[in-house]
Amino acid sequence: LPLASAASGWQGLALFDAFYRAGALVFGGGHVVLPLLEAEVVAPGWVSESTFLAGYGAAQAVPGPLFTFAAYLGAVASPAPSGVAGAAIALAAIFLPGFLLLLGMLPFWDRFRAMPAAQAAMRGANAAVVGILAAALHDPVWTSAILSPGDF
């Protein structure tokens, strides 16, 4: 996808690529995706840090998975397909890796989850998520939103 995105020059593919990679690297969902999304949209300048944090706050105020935050980011991103088209691209791209993994693993799931090595790997991945959540709390939330003791 990164090569196709660079070769095509269409910003919609670049947007899809960024959110697809964030969705592919997330384990556990929720706040784990924050540092990945920040790296994909704030660092290249598609979304400002204040807009990112405002969207995160709005996403926390409504029910549903935090992955829907991708729709907001796609809608306000500065590459060409923004608005409804950008939201649809970002939302589809961030959910697609999980759906593909589900479709690929479904026929083998009963055998896979019975394997001791698979159970150990899942316990290890779940433990690693705790560290990733701590990193997500520190950057961008702690470093950008908590500036004084009154912010608690």
Give the count of domains, the chain.
1
Residues 102 and 23: beta-carbon distance below 8 Å = no
Give 138's DSSP letter: I
Six token digits for residue 98: 């999980």
pLDDT under 50 in the chain at which residues? Answer: none
pTM above 0.85, yes or no: no
Query: Which pLDDT score is estimated for 132?
Result: 77
Q: How open is the CA angle 67-97-7, to the nearest 5 degrees? A: 105
Six token digits for residue 58: 């709005």
48-60 confidence digits (pLDDT tens): 999 998 998 888 8
Full residue range of the structural domain in which residue 25 is found: 2-151
Query: Which pLDDT score is estimated for 73?
Result: 93
Query: Which pLDDT score is estimated for 33?
Result: 82
For the chain, the straight-line distance linking the first and the last C-alpha, in angstroms and rounded, comes to 41
Query: Which pLDDT score is estimated for 91?
Result: 93
Place of tokens 């560290």: 131
